[in-house]
């Protein structure tokens, strides 16, 4: 449970444009996210007690390390700042560490920034990203290849149809049309997905999230809130599993997601039935299908049927399921890896603040092929769901 005397309020956010931003540097993106987030929170820069910066690849792509200091330098008082790296879950883990610091009482108001510049660096993207796998045991592998193994296992065990993967990709592209920050804002059909080039059986080009640039930021506080627009983080959890796929107990689910979700639900004193909208880590289409089952939205092997009936889409949402990837997900919004987990929280904060359709949201951020996972639950403080009022 969240401590009774501590409430973690989200009081500001900013998401930059995501995409191939060749005219924007890593520092440009981090600066925009930082300064605009502080403006959104109606804070003076000196109101920030500490900073957590999520990033995976800056040392390789940009030859820029020491990102904590880089971002702290944007503020006149140079608050303590820590870089967090957990592969594609860097943003989610940064949120967890920020929440832990707030709940400890060490800080009252903190800034979390996720940033990644991937599209025009000097290093090969596949090589850099492969560092999130086990370098000796999985040498030469790529993440499309590793997730293809998960897809093959799920298809074999549950007779999961290829068409479910295509429907997920098409649904997320449809959602991305209304997201002005998304990298891709055009509709695609399931049939179009199945006509694209095979990357690693059964995953095709349009099953894969893109290489992206972008940044996102949120400000979290235990002492400040927006009284007319108050959103709280009411639960969070982090889970781990073996870095090597060969050591996993199962290839048809991610134990790290199950553990992270269980911890988040317990802290929030809620269950999956309370979630209205979820931003899940669809780095590949199979990852969203696995997430639906691992987060408890449906029984193992049942996600494909729900997907094919479009129960998780905005247009045809079923009350039995949350809307999934309202933003377009990683697939349409883009996946600047260190920014993704922070973007998920920022996006739900903005969505819950502006919409009367949703009161409780969940974010799900995964590192590598599932060695790390983070789940965060956010809620309007005036929601009638659950116990967090």
Q: Look at residue 385 in the predicted model and tell me its pLDDT.
A: 47
Q: Look at residue 172 in the predicted model and tell me its pLDDT.
A: 98
> Is the confidence at residue 387, as pLDDT, over 80?
no
Task: For 171-218, write each residue's pLDDT tens digit.
Answer: 999 999 999 999 999 999 999 999 999 999 999 999 999 999 999 999
- 175/288 same-domain check: yes
Task: For 333-344, write each residue's pLDDT tens digit.
Answer: 999 999 999 999
Q: Look at residue 318 in the predicted model and tell me its pLDDT.
A: 77
Residue 344 forms part of a structural domain: yes
- Token pair of 383 as six digits: 């929601």
- 195/262 same-domain check: yes
- 68/13 same-domain check: yes
Residue 228 forms part of a structural domain: no
The span from the CA of 308 to the CA of 161, in Å, is 10
> Is the confidence at residue 229, as pLDDT, over 90?
no
- 103/176 same-domain check: no
Instruction: List the domain range (segments joined by +) for residue 320.
Output: 140-208+234-380
- 84: domain CATH number is 3.40.47.10
Q: Look at residue 383 in the predicted model and tell me its pLDDT.
A: 46
* Minimum mean pLDDT range among 48-52, 120-124, 225-229, 269-273: 225-229
Known catalytic membership, residue 335: yes
- 257/181 same-domain check: yes
Number of domain units in the chain: 2
Residue finishing a domain among 195, 221, 247: 221
Q: Look at residue 3 in the predicted model and tell me its pLDDT.
A: 72
Residues 175, 329: contact at Cβ < 8 Å? yes
- 150/296 same-domain check: yes
> Is the confidence at residue 1, as pLDDT, over 90?
no
Known catalytic membership, residue 88: yes
The three-state DSSP-derived secondary structure of the chain is CCCCCCCEEEEEEEECCCECCCCCCHHHHHHHHHHHHHHHCCCCHHHCCEEEEECCCHHHHCCCCCHHHHHHCCCCCCCCEEEECECECHHHHHHHHHHHHHHHCCCCEEEEEEEECCCCCCCCHHHHHHHHCCCCCCCCCCHHHHHHHHHHHHHHHHCCCHHHHHHHHHHHHHHHCCCCCCCCCCCCCHHHHHHCCEEECCEEHHHECCECEEEEEEEEECCCCCCCCCEEEEEEEEEECCCCHHHCCCCCCCHHHHHHHHHHHHHHCCCHHHCCEEECCCCEHHHHHHHHHHCCCCCCCCHHHHHHCCCCCCCCCCCCCCEECCCCHHHHHCECHHHHHHHHHHHHHHHHHHCCCCCEEEEEEEECCCCEEEEEEEEECCCCCCCCC
Cα atoms found within 13 Å of the Cα of residue 215, Cβ hemisphere only: 26
Q: Look at residue 228 in the predicted model and tell me its pLDDT.
A: 65
Q: Look at residue 269 in the predicted model and tell me its pLDDT.
A: 96
Residue 133 forms part of a structural domain: no
Residue finishing a domain among 200, 221, 242: 221
> Is the confidence at residue 133, as pLDDT, over 60?
yes
Residue 302 forms part of a structural domain: yes
Q: Which of 173, 281, 326, 335 is catalytic?
A: 335
The mean pLDDT value for 260-264 works out to 98
> Is the confidence at residue 389, as pLDDT, over 70?
no
> Is the confidence at residue 13, as pLDDT, over 70?
yes
What are the b/e assignments for 311-332, b being 16+ CB within 10 Å?
bbbbeebeeebbbbbbbbbbbb
- Token pair of 233 as six digits: 């983080």
- 25/86 same-domain check: yes
> Is the confidence at residue 41, as pLDDT, over 50?
yes
Residue finishing a domain among 174, 192, 221: 221
Residue 297 forms part of a structural domain: yes
- 115/153 same-domain check: no
- 31/73 same-domain check: yes
Residue 2 forms part of a structural domain: no
Residue 130 forms part of a structural domain: no
Q: Look at residue 381 in the predicted model and tell me its pLDDT.
A: 85
Task: For 314-366, write each residue's pLDDT tens digit.
Answer: 988 877 899 999 999 999 999 999 999 999 999 999 999 999 999 999 999 99
> Is the confidence at residue 139, as pLDDT, over 90?
no
- 108/146 same-domain check: no
Q: Which of 88, 99, 208, 298 is catalytic?
A: 88
Residue 132 forms part of a structural domain: no
- 290/149 same-domain check: yes
- 244/96 same-domain check: no
């Amino acid at each position: 449970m969240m401590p009774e005397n501590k409430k973690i309020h989200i009081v500001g956010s900013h998401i930059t444009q995501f995409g191939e931003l060749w005219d924007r540097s890593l520092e440009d993106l981090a600066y925009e996210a930082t300064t605009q987030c502080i403006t959104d929170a109606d804070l003076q820069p000196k109101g920030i007690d500490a900073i957590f910066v999520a990033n995976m690849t800056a040392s390789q792509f940009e030859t820029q390390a020491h990102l904590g200091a880089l971002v702290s330098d944007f503020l006149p008082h140079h608050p303590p700042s820590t870089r967090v790296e957990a592969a594609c879950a860097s943003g989610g883990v940064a949120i967890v560490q920020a929440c832990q610091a707030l709940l400890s009482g060490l800080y009252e108001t903190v800034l979390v920034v996720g940033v990644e510049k991937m599209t025009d660096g000097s290093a090969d993207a596949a090589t850099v990203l492969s560092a999130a796998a086990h370098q000796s045991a999985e040498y030469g592998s790529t993440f499309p290849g590793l997730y293809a193994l998960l897809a093959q296992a799920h298809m074999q065990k549950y007779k999961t149809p290829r068409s479910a993967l295509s429907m997920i990709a098409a649904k997320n592209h449809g959602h991305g049309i209304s997201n002005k920050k998304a990298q891709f804002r055009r509709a695609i059909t399931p049939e179009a997905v199945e006509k694209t080039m095979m990357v690693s059986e059964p995953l095709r080009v349009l099953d894969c999230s893109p290489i992206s640039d972008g940044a996102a930021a949120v400000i979290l506080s235990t002492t400040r809130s927006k009284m007319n627009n108050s959103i709280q983080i009411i639960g969070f959890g982090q889970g781990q599993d073996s870095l090597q796929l060969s050591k996993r107990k199962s290839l048809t689910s991610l134990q790290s997601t199950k553990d992270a979700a269980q911890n988040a639900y317990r802290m929030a004193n809620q269950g999956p039935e309370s979630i209205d909208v979820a931003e899940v880590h669809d780095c590949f289409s199979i990852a969203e299908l696995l997430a639906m089952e691992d987060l408890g939205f449906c029984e193992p092997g049942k996600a494909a049927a729900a997907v094919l009936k479009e129960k998780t889409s905005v247009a045809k949402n079923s009350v039995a399921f949350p809307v999934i990837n309202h933003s377009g997900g990683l697939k349409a919004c883009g996946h600047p890896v260190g920014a993704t987990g922070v973007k998920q929280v920022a996006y739900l904060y903005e969505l819950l603040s502006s919409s009367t359709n949703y009161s409780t949201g969940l974010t799900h951020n995964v590192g590598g092929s599932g060695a790390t996972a983070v789940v965060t639950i956010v809620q309007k403080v005036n929601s009638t769901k659950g116990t967090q009022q």
